[in-house]
Amino acid sequence: HRPELAGRSFQAMGVSLVIHPRNPYAPTSHANIRIFVAEKDGEAPVWWVGGGFDLTPYYGFVEDCQAWHQMAKDVCLPFGADVYPTYKKWCDDYFYLKHRQEPRGIGGLFFDDLNQWGFDKCFEFIKAVGMGYINAYRPILAKRKNTPYGERERNFQLYRRGRYVEFNLVYDRGTIFGLQTGGRTESILMSLPNLVAWQYDYQPEPDSVEARFYQEFLTAKEWV
């Protein structure tokens, strides 16, 4: 797919972070920023940056989703008015489980192959994305991590974590790239939750909070 990379050595550098809280009311979060450089003697390097952040709640709170996307929008605005809507849609499209016909979570930002701004501006952008993730997630985690919960909520969380596992093993670019290039398997699979459960043909009870979660949160929408 990339004939310009033929005969070049490459380096891939990145920071990837996934947090799977124990409390079902605290959402899972993921962030990644990365740089790819391919070099060849006597020729200019080929490079690009990529990354983003996304949120995977198990019990939805509108204010959390709005705050998450507001931070994503604020991060992007200095780099252009079209950046947030473009990368927000890319995130919605990317973190979608086709075989389940549902998104993994409520999205955020996703971008790849970015180099048209020049290296310095692109590097500033991925730094802003990294800081934006921290500033968006910490207040949500602080607000939700001590919410009382019971066996029902825990079971639903473990079931929904299954979607996270399915996405990472079937679709995720980073996982596929790492396994195909002989990366360290233990490190590559560190993004998976330590406990997960599947239930055959699960259907939430009608009018339950879990049913409303599917109807109101597991659908692409404009949060801000």
The two beta strands, 28-40 and 96-97, are unpaired
- Which candidate, 116, 53, 35, places its Cα nearest to that of 90? 53
Residue 30 annotated as catalytic: yes
Q: Which of 20, 30, 69, 99 is catalytic?
A: 30
Instruction: Just list the catalytic residues.
Output: 30
